[in-house]
């Protein structure tokens, strides 16, 4: 998977196909299962979100239409783009006043942050007392720089991170678990079936990758879709394979 040019990142993340995959993932999408489960988690939180919302690292802000109860939706990211209201300062903060927002939203950002504790503390600072944070990131997942990729999380580890910042956890989740998670990981694994320098094997693996993209991805995704109960489970669920984690927390 090629990495986006940092100078073009805002345009890439606002592209129609990028947004379509997150708003309406298709069985033919390699990330269909993980994106379906992520949307389900964000949608559940969105029903309780009210007031001013700060989308911290919004990309193309694909989930904005879900937050109909919010009076203002501020989109912020490190690079300018057509969906950006605030370009974040280079120091890693937001530049926003203390206690300015009722909701902080962070979807699939934390793995790209070099200092995650500082990031979560900044979420705490900009929220009013009683304000809510909804934060999602990756569990088991392939490296994907955007432009950088630094870490992965367990459900318990993410709970600890937001608690250290002063939040109280309302709910935590594991996303895309068990068989659904294994299928998601399989899709990415097949793309790494390569062995440069061994011509025959390289040709065979090339055929296998093409067949998987054409037939395997939709078939495996259909199978995973038969088990929706594995998509979104509580953080204390014993599932040990999961590609995503989420936490819903409140500022005292």
Q: What is the pTM of this model?
A: 0.91
Q: How far is CA 7 from CA 39, 78, 88, 147, 247, in A?
A: 27, 10, 14, 10, 31
3-class DSSP state of 71: strand
- pLDDT single digits (tens) 64-76: 999 999 999 999 9
In sequence order, the β-bridge partners of residue 75 are: 55
The alpha-carbon radius of gyration of the chain (Å, integer) is 19
Closest to 78 in 3D by CA, of 164, 150, 18, 148? 148
Indicate whether 1 pLDDT > 70: no
* Residue found by looking up tokens 């903060």 in the block: 93
Peptide bond into 147 cis (omega under 30): yes
Domains for the chain: give ranges and CATH numbers.
6-177+232-250 (3.40.50.150)
- pLDDT single digits (tens) 10-39: 556 557 888 999 999 999 999 999 999 999
Structure tokens at 157: 């580890």
Structure tokens at 22: 């997150």
Structure tokens at 88: 């974040």
The pLDDT value given to residue 83: 81
Closest to 187 in 3D by CA, of 24, 28, 41, 39? 28
């Amino acid at each position: 998977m090629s990495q986006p040019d940092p100078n073009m990142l805002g345009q890439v993340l606002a592209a129609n196909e990028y947004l379509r995959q997150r708003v309406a993932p298709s069985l033919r999408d390699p990330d269909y299962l993980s994106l379906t489960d992520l949307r389900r988690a964000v949608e559940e939180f969105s029903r309780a979100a009210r007031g001013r919302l700060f989308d911290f690292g919004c990309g193309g802000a694909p989930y904005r239409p879900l937050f109909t109860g919010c009076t203002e939706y501020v989109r912020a990211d490190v690079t300018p783009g057509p969906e950006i209201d605030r370009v974040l300062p280079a120091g890693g903060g937001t530049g926003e006043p203390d206690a300015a927002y009722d909701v902080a939203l962070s979807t699939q950002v934390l793995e790209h942050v070099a200092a995650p504790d500082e990031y979560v503390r900044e979420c705490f600072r900009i929220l009013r007392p009683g304000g809510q944070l909804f934060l999602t990131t990756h569990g088991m997942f392939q490296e994907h720089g955007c432009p950088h990729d630094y870490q992965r999380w367990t459900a318990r580890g993410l709970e600890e991170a937001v608690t250290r910042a002063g939040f109280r956890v309302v709910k935590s989740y594991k996303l895309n678990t068990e068989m659904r998670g294994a299928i998601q990981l399989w899709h990415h694994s097949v793309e790494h079936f390569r062995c440069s320098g061994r011509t025959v094997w390289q040709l065979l693996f090339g055929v296998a990758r093409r067949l998987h993209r054409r037939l395997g991805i939709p078939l495996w995704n259909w199978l995973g879709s038969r088990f929706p109960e594995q998509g979104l489970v509580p953080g204390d669920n014993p599932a040990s394979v999961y590609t995503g984690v989420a936490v819903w927390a409140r500022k005292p």
